[in-house]
Amino acid sequence: MVTRPPSPSGPDTTGPATRRGRRVRASLVMLAGVLAVLVGVGACSGGSASPSAGASPSAAPSVRSGLGWASGANGNYPVDVNAWASWTGRPVDVAIVFTTRSDWANITTASWPIGAFTRAKFPGQVSVAQPLYPEDGNEAACANGDYDRYWAAFGQTLTRNGRGDAYVRLGWEFNGNWFWWNAKDPAAFRSCFAHAATALRSTAPHVKIEWTMSAHRDTLTDRTSDVWAAYPGDQYVDVVSIDTYDSYPASTSQQLWDQQCHQRSGLCTVAEYARAHHKELAVPEWGLVRSTGGGGDNPYYIEKMHQFFAANTDILAYEAYFNNAEDQNVQSSLNNPDLNPNSAKRYLDLFGKSG
């Protein structure tokens, strides 16, 4: 598989499947009322503010990093997440993990990775990326409720391991064509998501359900349906989130930042939607891109993301930098190894202990 993230123009069958397609065994600061809305939305691009419908929800309950919002990192084991903490000089608030998604057992009842991230082993919060069904499943069966029992079983797995309040990213990056659970039919996807969320909550009532799109992909895989046509409804979503990387276009100037941030599948658009629907916002994956279409070692992107997080702490559940060094991947790595030295320095300036 190739590493090139999808271009927003025309079909793309490559996409970042390798970016998150690996089989791993694997706010606090509350801005008040109207001021939160004006600053938070306006600072998405440095432009004028947009009005918000009502008050924003409170942000993540446990922030150990001291940043003012919950900041996370990806890792196969707590030792990997702790290595990021050692580098930054701050505790990691949220561990980003992925189940082995070869079959239902690995997706819902296996001890990996939840068993590796018990609170005794990792005191922070956990965010789990989950397909809506394994590769031999299908959207129609999910929409019909055929898989409800599996999601109820996953809720039991979370509860058994003391992670009944985990973030669960059901069918993440559904608007890309690199994962088999992509939203082929908007109505069927919405029903599938609603069934999974309802069944999961039946055994893990405190779970936080995330609806996660991929940035820079304004339509679903049919290339005609708007990305927001896949939103299942507020009653099934706790956190509206987006995985966003510095590509297509890379944010090398304010103009380009504004361009990508305000797309239908842009970071600023998602933040505005979260506010309007009284939802928390998460950015579970963000990072540099050294492959085609990416900005490479781009400290400006790091600065803009930090600015965005600081301006939206009142609704920000968490954010997590995706640190990756694989040859056939985005190569966003800032530490172990340092593939982007200028950006690594800027990240430590802003997100590190001295930041």
Per-residue pLDDT tens digits for 261-278? 999 999 999 999 999 999
Look up residue 279 and give its two tokens. Answer: 């939802």
Q: What share of the chain is helix, strand, coil (3-state, %, to 5)?
A: 35, 15, 50
Tokens 């908007």 found at: 186
Per-residue pLDDT tens digits for 107-131? 999 999 999 999 999 999 999 999 9
Do 280 and 329 form a contact (C-beta atoms < 8 A)? no
Residue 17's pLDDT is: 35
Report how far residue 309's alpha carbon sits from residue 204's, in angstroms, rounded to the nearest whole number. Answer: 29
Helix (H) or strand (E) holding 37: helix 33-42
% of the chain with per-residue pLDDT over 90: 78
The residues with which 169 forms a beta bridge, in sequence order, are 129, 210
Residues whose CB falls within 8 Å of the CB of residue 160, separated by 6 or more in sequence, listed in order: none
Quick check: 53 pLDDT over 60? no
Residue 44's pLDDT is: 52
Look up residue 257 and give its two tokens. Answer: 């930042």
Q: Can you give the residue ranges of every domain in the chain?
A: 17-351
Architecture of the domain made up of 17-351: Alpha-Beta Barrel (3.20)
Residue 128's pLDDT is: 98
**For the residues 142-162, what does the mean pLDDT come to?**
98
pTM, whole model, 2 decimals?
0.85
